[in-house]
Amino acid sequence: MKNYFLLFKSPAKIMPIIHWILSIALGITIIKNSIPIELILLSGVSFILAWFFAVGINDYYDIEIDKIANPLRPLITEKLTRKDVKLFSIIMGTISLILAILCDIISGKFGITILTGIYLVLAIGYSMPPIRIKTRTPFSSFVIAIVTSECILIGGVLNQMPLLSIIYAILLGFIVLFISAAKDFKDVEGDKLAQIPTIPVKYGTDKAALIFQIINIISYSSLFCLYFFQPLAWFFSVYICLVIVVNIVIFQRLKRNPSKENAELIYRIGFSLYMVGTILLIILNI
């Protein structure tokens, strides 16, 4: 039997799964009315399987990039074949959509099917020719940002959509755009070969690090806007300030030593700090 979980062996593939779960949980805690557990499970599993689909289709079309940037990926090491990955992606995408439809049938609405459909279409457009969004814009990670916003909106779709859910979806989506784009620092050589215009490829490591430090300050500072819409504990302000400082420090480290190890560190620390903030917001909204 093929071990398809090899596709998710790296932290860069595992962390988004945790991220989707936390985003959905946050969206649900914002809604003060109770939501049936079966709807939460169906929508959550649907989105996770959609991520499996996205990873599979991305690996399928990124072989040449991964030969340089990620040589241990299962397609490169031939632990899986392209046929294996294609079949896996089709199965995951199909089950994801079926679960979304089932969730909407039970709830008597149609929002989850729309959100999941958008997710699957974006995954296809991100990786598959001729669209291949990632080759057309330095901020192709806006796809992940949109999906983050969708996860936060799930609670509102299953119940009622408050303004606060939309605000959270916009602000956190903006931050995830910054974090997800930062992962491109570790794939510079492969992206140059494939002519993918990421910010590190287009502007070089030094200028890109400066750009991301500015985006880091703007995106995390925007979280202070939440205080205008709900009471939040003082320690959340401390968290925002600490994250901004830590991100500045690790980007300065990358400028001094633009190694792949430091680039991976940016992604891991950046995403970990973001998820800590998501957990804090979940607790504050309970």
pLDDT tens column, 6-18: 777 776 678 888 8
Q: What is the pLDDT of residue 87?
A: 92
- Could you tell me if residue 6 is inside a domain? no
* Residue with the larger pLDDT of the pair 272 and 98: 98
Would you say residue 140 lies in a domain?
yes
> Is residue 138 pLDDT above 60, yes or no?
yes
Dig out the tokens for 195 from the structure.
């002519």
Closest CA to 283 of 241, 240, 233: 233
Question: Any idea which of 69-73, 105-109, 169-173 has the lowest mean pLDDT?
Answer: 69-73
Q: In total, how many domains does the chain have?
A: 1
Tell me which residue of 33, 17, 18, 15 sits closest to 165, measured CA to CA: 33
pLDDT in tens, 20-79: 899 999 999 998 778 889 999 999 999 999 999 999 998 898 887 778 777 888 888 888
Distance CA 245, CA 54 (A): 33
CATH number at residue 111: 1.10.357.140
- The pTM (predicted TM-score) of the whole model is 0.88
Domain enclosing residue 52, as ranges = 13-285
- The angle at the Cα of 123, spanning 265 to 258, to the nearest 5 degrees, equals 20
